Amino acid sequence: MTFMNTLRPWMNAHSVTTSYLLLFLVLGMTACATYGKSLRMEEEWGVRVLQIRLSAEGYMLDIRYRVVDAEKTAPLFDRKTKPYLIDQATGAKFLVPEPPKVGALRTTRPPTTDRNYFIIFANPGKYIKKGNRVTVVIGDFRAENLIVE
C-alpha cells in the first residue's frame, strides 16, 4: 500500500483542507530551498541578490544585490570579468551594454559592505519576460533560478 493510498480516505473527507495543506507544504519546501541557496551564496561570495526586474519598458534587466562581505565579493567587481545573464528556458545569453561615453552599466569600483549595487543587462526585443527564470554569471559566480519581476 502506498503512502497516497493510506491518505486517500482522509483526503476525500477533507479535500479542501488537504489541498491547502499540500499547497503550504510545497510552498514551504520551495522557500526553504531558495533560502538555503541564498544563504550559501552569502557565505561563499558575500552577496545577497535582492531582485531582478524588467526596466526601460522591458528592453533592460536590472539586477539589484547587496554586498554583505566586501572582501569575498571583490572578484565580482573586476573590470576584466564580463557578467552575462542566461535565460534558463532557451540558454540565450545577454550581456551588459557598454556605451562609449558611460562605459559598462555596472559598478566596478571596490565594493563596500552593507551597500546595494546594480547591473543592467540588455534585453533586445524584450526577449525575457516577467516570470522567466534566469541565471546571472560573473566569472565563477552563478546566481541561478532568479525569477524576473
For 83-125, what is each residue's pLDDT tens digit? 999 999 999 999 999 999 999 999 999 999 999 999 999 999 9
How confident is the model at residue 11, as a pLDDT? 52
How confident is the model at residue 5, as a pLDDT? 55
How confident is the model at residue 34, as a pLDDT? 45
Q: How many CB atoms lie within 10 A of CB 92?
A: 12
For residue 76, pLDDT over 80 is answered with: yes
145 Cβ partners below 8 Å, 6+ apart?
Answer: 34, 37, 88, 133, 135
- Reading the block at residue 89, the C-alpha cell is 528556458
Mean pLDDT of 130-149: 96
Mean pLDDT of 25-47: 62
Of the pLDDT bands very low, low, confident and very high (cuts 50, 70, 90), residue 146 is very high
Mean pLDDT rounded to a whole number for the chain: 83
For residue 37, pLDDT over 80 is answered with: no
For residue 16, pLDDT over 60 is answered with: no
